Chain A
Amino acid sequence: GAGVSQSPSNKVTEKGKDVELRCDPISGHTALYWYRQRLGQGLEFLIYFQGNSAPDKSGLPSDRFSAERTGESVSTLTIQRTQQEDSAVYLCASSLDVGSNSGNTIYFGEGSWLTVV
């Protein structure tokens, strides 16, 4: 596609339920990132996928959060047993990633707005 596509764009869920958020990166982009942004706050890095390498999960806030990526395509971010503190916009981004000194640009999607009630 022309850009990073995320779905759903909005999701309201009850506390304790599981949610899945989907990201379709730009075609050909090998690197994929998830960020979270709570209302009025900055972007927090969650997880990074690069090709067949082990993902960088250093930003995942708890074991309720997990993400998968199939090859170099779609990624799913799963939040189990959602809490009200999980309410945020979840942003996905992708880039080409050809190694050191690449300077390749990261492009963001419009995000999935999650509200836990």
Chain B
Amino acid sequence: DAKTTQPPSMDCAEGRAANLPCNHSTISGNEYVYWYRQIHSQGPQYIIHGLKNNETNEMASLIITEDRKSSTLILPHATLRDTAVYYCIVRVARAAGNKLTFGGGTRVLVKP
């Protein structure tokens, strides 16, 4: 599976948009970009995923560059409850194995 690179930490002001970058320069054509977050002491929570096109749901937006070598997760109006570690993962889908490989993630602190 392709590796991802994320900044180890970032701060964000409550109510402002949080833009979380992720580099995945070795991504393959059939690999999806997934974002999860883990709030302290809880299991990872799925946020969003995409292949080529930008995606939006009730939690966030995912912007994938045209060459697919990087992406940005956007939390449009960060709240204190969005404080968490955010993981960007690229996942190869094949019949023999389909697991997520977690890196270090970005520790996001939303400040009042």
Residues of A that sit less than 8 Å from B by CB: 4, 31, 33, 35, 42-43, 45, 48, 50, 53, 56, 91, 93, 95, 97, 99-111
Contacts and interface: CB of A to CB of B under 8 A. Distances in A.
Nearest to B95: A99
A33 B101 CA distance: 12
Interface in B22-73: 30, 32, 34, 36, 42-46, 49, 51
A42 B102 contact: yes
B38 to A, nearest CB: 8
Contacts of A99: 93, 95
A100 B46 contact: no
A107 B95 contact: no
A105 B99 contact: no
B96 A103 contact: no
B102 A102 contact: no
A105 B36 CA distance: 10
B43 A45 contact: no
Contact of A56 (B30, B91, B96): B96
A85 to B, nearest CB: 20
A43 B89 CA distance: 12
A110 B44 CA distance: 8
A50 B43 contact: no
Nearest to A42: B102
Nearest to A58: B97
Contacts of B46: 105-108
A104 to B, nearest CB: 8
Nearest to A96: B98
Closest 5 CB pairs of A and B: A108-B43, A43-B102, A103-B32, A108-B44, A110-B43
